[in-house]
Amino acid sequence: MIALHVGPSLAVMRRALVALSIGFAMLCASGPSSAEVADWDKVVAAAKAEGGLVLYTALLGAPSTKAIAKAFEAKYGIPVQVLEARASELRERIRTEQSAGRYLGDVMFNSENQVIILSAEDKSVVPHEPVPNAAGLMEPFRDDGLKSPVMTINYGLLVNNRLVPAGEEPKSWSDLTDPKWKGKILSDDMRAVGGGYVMFFVTEEKLGKAYHEALATQGIQFTREMREAGRRVARGEMAIYTPFILSDILNLKGLPVRAVVPAEGAPYVLYATAAMKGAPHPNAARLYIDFAMSDEVQQIFAQDGFGIVRRGVLEKVTPEARAIAAVKLMGGSDPVRQNEMLDLARSIYK
C-alpha cells in the first residue's frame, strides 16, 4: 500500500474532527429510543422496496464480505453488489463519481480512520439515522451517527516453529529489540500506510520513540506484501514477521508457524460502515449498517478471524475463532497524526 495523501493541514483536520464530534455527541449519549425502534419496520419495508444495495469496501479478499452480503439478501430479499478496492483507489473512484454527479454507492465499509478522512475532506459519507443494533455494542465501541463500528483487524507476531522454539518466542513488543533477533525480523513497511504503520503508531505511543530507535538497529527487512510474508516465515526465510494479521493464521494451517500476541496487546484497525452521500438506496443503506452490527454478522466476522464489537457473541463461536477475536487490544492510530507519524517512522527507519 502507498501513503494516503491527506490534503488539509493538521489544524484544518482537527477543526473538522472537532465539528464532527460536536455534531454527533448527542447520538453517542444513548442507544435508539423506543419510538425509533418502533418505526424500524417502516425502514425495512422501504429498504425492500428500493430493491438493491451497493457496498464499497476497502477490505480485500475477505470471505466474510460475500457471506454477509448473502446473509443480508437471504434475510431481507435485497441483493447486494460489492465493489472491493484499495482505500486510495476507492477514494479516487468516489471523488470522480460524485464530482460528476453520479452517486452509485450506498454504504462504505472501510477503516474508521478512512471514514473520518472521507467525511472531513471529501464530504463523501454522511450521517445516518439511529439503528437498533447500535445498542448491543460493547465498550469501547460506539456508533456516533457517522461511522458504525463493525469489526477489528488485530495484529500480533508470526514466528517460525523451527527457528523460534516453543517458549523462546518474543513475549512482548519490547522483546523484538533483543539482539538475538537481529537480522531475523521481517516487517510490513512502517513508513507507508498499512499494518506496519499501525504497529509503529501504537507502539511508539505506548513504548516511546526510544523503542523504535532500538528496533531500527535490528536490521529489519521491510516488505509491502503482507499475505506473502507469512509464507516466507513458514519457509524459514525469516524467523519473525510483524505485525501479523491474526486472522491470517487460519490460512496457514499445516505450516510450521504460530501466532503470538505480545503481553501489551494487539494493535488494531477498527472497520466501520457509513452511509454514502446521495445513496440511491438510503433505507437499504441504513438497514445494512444495522445488520453489520447484528449477532448474526458478528459471528460471521469472528469465524473469519476478526475481532468483534457486539456483546454476547464470543460465547457462540468456536474456541479457535474465540482465541483470535478475544485478544487484548493495545490501541489504534489517529488520522489527525498520520502525516506526522509517517514522517517520524521515515526518520527512524532509513
Q: In sequence order, what DSSP letters do the residues of 293-339 get, joined into one string?
A: TSHHHHHHHHHTT-EE-BTT-GGGS-HHHHHHHTPPEEE---GGGHH
> Measured between alpha carbons, how far is 267 from 328 in angstroms, rounded to an integer?
9
Residue 322, CB half-sphere, CA atoms under 13 Å: how many? 8
What pLDDT does residue 324 have? 85
- 107 in Cβ contact with 280 (< 8 Å): no
Q: Residue 274: helix, strand or coil by DSSP?
A: strand
What pLDDT does residue 109 have? 98
pLDDT tens track for 46-58: 999 999 999 999 9
Does the domain at residues 153-267+337-348 carry the CATH identifier 3.40.190.10?
yes
Residue count of the chain, please give it.
350
pLDDT tens track for 134-179: 999 999 999 999 999 999 999 999 999 999 999 999 999 999 999 9
DSSP tag of 38: H
What pLDDT does residue 90 have? 94
> Measured between alpha carbons, how far is 36 from 131 in angstroms, rounded to an integer?
8
> Measured between alpha carbons, how far is 76 from 204 in angstroms, rounded to an integer?
45
pLDDT tens track for 174-214: 999 999 999 999 999 999 988 999 999 999 999 999 999 99
What pLDDT does residue 177 have? 98
Peptide bond into 63 cis (omega under 30): no
What pLDDT does residue 9 have? 38
For the chain, residues classed under CATH 3.40.190.10 are 10-149+270-318, 153-267+337-348
Q: What are phi and psi of 155, to 5 degrees?
A: -115, 140
Query: Angle CA(41)–CA(45)–CA(51) in degrees, nearest 5?
Result: 150
What pLDDT does residue 16 have? 46
- 72 in Cβ contact with 291 (< 8 Å): yes
DSSP tag of 137: B
CATH architecture assigned to 10-149+270-318:
3-Layer(aba) Sandwich (3.40)
Residues of the chain short of pLDDT 70, as ranges, are 1-38
What pLDDT does residue 29 have? 41
Q: Residue 157: helix, strand or coil by DSSP?
A: strand
